[in-house]
């Protein structure tokens, strides 16, 4: 699973679940799994029924929680829930010793956060929701797990976030996984909204998550120290800036942010406090990784046509780098006879986004020309396309990169960006 190295260091799902073990222990799991040619169990993550089953199995196996996840409702991905909870735990570790009894509020609760928080950390939680069905399911799951002593479930009105719960009582924290999307996106082309599974009130709210959290911020301004640490998750990174501006405007003492990465999915967190004695800390594993990325990113290899000698391969690759406007500084080491070519590559602008589409268009054009001229170099283009695809996926977040390219008649290593395998065929120029 990509992105797992960005999970919270204490997240048990940094090591993906052992599907083989699950398939033996839970025979019903096999309905959604198959054995690949390499003997590995492949799970169908796109199947909602399968995903629901996997989530219930993991909750049982890893947390001793017996949870009913109703059909048609949001299926809570546990690695994400843990990433968020573990960041909150980090914030407590910064401020309190581990004997402190923690009391928190979860706004918008199918009860997954309170269940995990109570079971894993023994925090006592109040879970609120506006949806009667969600409340009913939450209560059922709390009772099923005998956690009534730690979890209370409350129905609240759509217009409120924290006030009804925290007005007369102090809480150590609050958390929230708000409906991300705005009703104006209902039936729109927003992929994120369209791909989410759940009922409308789980996913949509007036003004989207920014307005939802702004209301929470407004209430926090009234409540001040009634809650020591306010936190929320957001589904869009772009929501962080308007929320941080809002927090600045109301004079929050300190603000921190977090990145929750799991599988191919990312979410963000924001925390604030009005207490000057409370310390907050960012959790931005991706940013840390950006600093370290040149050391960490594993190379990816691509085969190039067997008919290429190393000079041809190098020429093709150089053409590609030039077309991507990458600056290439040749660093050929004279001392090492095996090194034919060594270069330092820098990107100053994002020229690779949509390269695949551009290539496809160019290929189509070239194909139609080729039909006329009966040219036979189709193979070469498709390999270049592969390199493009890789560059596109590797550096897709408009991330500029620097890479070192070595060429020694065996392979070209674009360290941290690409690993280009060159077969050992000596050309007549070598
Ligand atoms: C994205 S779901 C999150 C559910 C659960 N916390 C999770 O992480 O799986 C958002 C939830 O917020 C609830 N909700 C919407 N407006 C609310 C409000 N004003 N107060 C409390 N809950 C609300 C919805 O009914 C829904 O259950």
Instruction: Using alpha carbons, list the distances in angstroms from residue 246 to 157, 211, 213, 227.
Output: 23, 11, 10, 18
pLDDT value of position 46 = 84
Average pLDDT over residues 422-429: 39
Average pLDDT over residues 282-286: 89
**Contact by Cβ (8 Å): 65, 59:** yes
Average pLDDT over residues 25-42: 88
Instruction: Say yes or no: CB of residue 67 within 6 Å of ligand 1.
Output: no
**Higher-pLDDT residue of 20, 350:** 20
For a substitution probing ligand 1, which of 83, 106, 129 has the most ligand atoms within 8 Å of its CB? 129
C-beta atoms surrounding 189 within 10 Å: 7
Closest protein CA for atom 8 of ligand 1: 177
- Per-residue pLDDT band for 332 (boundaries 50, 70, 90) equals low
- Structure tokens, 15: 């090591």
- Distance (angstroms) between ligand 1 centre and the Cα of 270 equals 17
Question: Where exactly are the structural domains of the chain?
Answer: 4-182+199-291, 294-353+396-429
Q: Is the pLDDT of residue 393 over 60?
A: no
pLDDT value of position 319 = 76
Q: Is the pLDDT of residue 376 over 70?
A: no
Q: Which residue has the tokens 């596109």?
A: 392
Average pLDDT over residues 265-277: 96
Instruction: Say yes or no: CB of residue 130 within 6 Å of ligand 1.
Output: yes
Average pLDDT over residues 137-162: 96
Q: Is the pLDDT of residue 394 over 90?
A: no
**Higher-pLDDT residue of 278, 189:** 278
14 marked as binding residue: no
Q: 154 by DSSP, 3-state: which? A: strand
- Distance (angstroms) between ligand 1 centre and the Cα of 266 equals 19
* Winning range, highest mean pLDDT, from 167-176, 302-311, 417-426: 167-176
Average pLDDT over residues 182-193: 61
CA dihedral 55, 60, 64, 70 (to 10 degrees): 60
Which ranges constitute the DSSP H helices of 64-205?
A: 78-95, 112-121, 132-144, 163-166, 191-195, 200-203
Instruction: Say yes or no: CB of residue 259 within 6 Å of ligand 1.
Output: no
- Distance (angstroms) between ligand 1 centre and the Cα of 404 equals 48
> What's domain 4-182+199-291's architecture?
3-Layer(aba) Sandwich (3.40)
Q: Which residue has the tokens 């059909």?
A: 71
Average pLDDT over residues 117-134: 96
**Contact by Cβ (8 Å): 82, 11:** yes
Instruction: Say yes or no: CB of residue 213 within 6 Å of ligand 1.
Output: no
C-beta atoms surrounding 420 within 10 Å: 27
- Per-residue pLDDT band for 426 (boundaries 50, 70, 90) equals very low
The DSSP-derived string for 381-397 is: HHHHHHHHHHHHHHTTT
| Tens-place pLDDT, residues 339-361 | 555 566 666 565 655 656 767 77
Instruction: Say yes or no: CB of residue 200 within 6 Å of ligand 1.
Output: no
- Distance (angstroms) between ligand 1 centre and the Cα of 70 equals 15
What's the CA gap between 357 and 374, in Å, rounded?
24
Average pLDDT over residues 67-95: 95
**Higher-pLDDT residue of 424, 50:** 50
282 marked as binding residue: no
**Contact by Cβ (8 Å): 110, 140:** no
Is the CA virtual torsion 46, 49, 55, 57 positive or negative? negative
Instruction: Say yes or no: CB of residue 232 within 6 Å of ligand 1.
Output: no
Closest protein CA for atom 2 of ligand 1: 202
For a substitution probing ligand 1, which of 127, 151, 202 has the most ligand atoms within 8 Å of its CB? 202
Long-range contacts of 297-300 (CB under 8 A, 24+ apart): 297/394, 297/415, 297/416, 297/417, 299/413, 299/414, 299/415, 299/416, 299/418, 299/419, 300/390, 300/394, 300/418, 300/419
Q: Which residue has the tokens 């090591």?
A: 15
User: What percent of the chain stands above pLDDT 90?
Assistant: 51
pTM over 0.95: no
What's the CA gap between 384 and 320, in Å, rounded?
7
47 marked as binding residue: no
Instruction: Using alpha carbons, list the distances in angstroms from residue 252 to 92, 224, 229, 234, 271.
Output: 18, 9, 11, 19, 10
User: What percent of the chain stands above pLDDT 70?
Assistant: 68
Instruction: Say yes or no: CB of residue 107 within 6 Å of ligand 1.
Output: yes
| Tens-place pLDDT, residues 188-207 | 554 444 445 667 778 888 88
pLDDT value of position 305 = 63
Weakest mean pLDDT among 55-69, 158-172, 371-385:
371-385
Nearest to 390 by CA among 325, 337, 335, 324: 324
pLDDT value of position 265 = 85
What's the CA gap between 103 and 165, in Å, rounded?
12
pLDDT value of position 406 = 46
Instruction: Say yes or no: CB of residue 113 within 6 Å of ligand 1.
Output: yes
pLDDT value of position 366 = 81
Sort residue 70 into left (φ over 0), alpha (ψ -120 to 50) or beta: beta
Average pLDDT over residues 56-65: 97
The DSSP-derived string for 200-228 is: HHHHEETTHHHHHHHHHHHHHHHHGGGEE
pLDDT value of position 104 = 98
Q: Is the pLDDT of residue 422 over 50?
A: no
* Mean residue pLDDT across the chain: 79
Q: In this structure, what DSSP letter does residue 266 have?
A: E
- Distance (angstroms) between ligand 1 centre and the Cα of 54 equals 22
What's the CA gap between 112 and 91, in Å, rounded?
20
**Contact by Cβ (8 Å): 208, 190:** no
> Which of ligand 1's atoms lies nearest the C-alpha of 158?
19
pLDDT value of position 378 = 34
Q: Is the pLDDT of residue 387 over 50?
A: no
């Amino acid at each position: 699973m990509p992105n797992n190295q960005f999970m919270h260091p204490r997240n048990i799902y940094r090591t993906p679940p052992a599907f083989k073990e699950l398939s033996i222990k839970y025979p019903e799991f096999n309905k959604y799994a198959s054995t690949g040619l390499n003997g590995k169990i492949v799970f169908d993550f796109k199947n909602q029924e399968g995903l629901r089953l996997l989530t219930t199995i993991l909750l049982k196996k890893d947390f001793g929680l017996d949870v009913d996840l109703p059909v048609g409702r949001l299926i809570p991905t546990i690695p994400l829930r843990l990433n968020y909870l573990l960041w909150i735990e980090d914030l407590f570790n910064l401020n309190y010793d581990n004997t402190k009894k923690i009391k928190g509020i979860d706004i918008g609760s199918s009860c997954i956060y309170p269940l995990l928080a109570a079971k894993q950390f023994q925090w006592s939680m109040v879970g609120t929701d506006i949806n009667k069905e969600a409340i009913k399911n939450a209560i059922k799951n709390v009772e099923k797990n005998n956690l009534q002593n730690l979890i209370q479930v409350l129905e609240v009105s759509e217009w409120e976030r924290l006030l009804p719960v925290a007005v007369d009582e102090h809480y150590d924290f609050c958390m929230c996984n708000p409906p991300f999307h705005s009703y104006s996106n209902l039936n729109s082309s927003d992929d994120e909204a369209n791909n989410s599974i759940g009922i409308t009130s789980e996913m949509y709210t007036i003004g989207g998550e920014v307005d939802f959290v702004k209301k929470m911020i407004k209430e926090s301004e009234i409540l001040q120290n009634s809650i020591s640490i306010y936190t929320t998750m957001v589904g869009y990174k772009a929501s962080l800036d308007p929320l941080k501006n809002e927090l600045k405007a109301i004079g929050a003492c300190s603000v921190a942010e977090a990145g929750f990465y799991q599988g191919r999915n990312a979410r963000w967190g924001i925390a604030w406090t009005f207490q000057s004695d409370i310390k907050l800390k960012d959790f931005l594993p991706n940013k840390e990784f950006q600093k370290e990325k040149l050391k960490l990113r594993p190379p990816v290899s691509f085969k190039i046509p067997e008919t290429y000698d190393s000079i041809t391969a190098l020429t093709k690759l150089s053409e590609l780098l030039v077309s991507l406007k990458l600056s290439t500084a040749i660093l050929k080491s004279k001392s090492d006879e095996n090194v034919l070519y060594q270069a330092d590559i820098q990107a100053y602008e994002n020229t690779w986004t949509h390269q695949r589409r551009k290539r496809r268009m160019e290929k189509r054009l070239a194909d139609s020309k080729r039909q006329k001229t009966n040219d036979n170099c189709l193979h070469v283009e498709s390999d270049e396309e592969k390199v493009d695809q890789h560059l596109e996926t590797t550096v897709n977040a408009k991330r500029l990169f620097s890479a070192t390219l070595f060429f020694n008649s065996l392979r070209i290593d674009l360290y941290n960006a690409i690993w280009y395998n060159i077969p050992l065929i000596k050309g007549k120029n070598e």
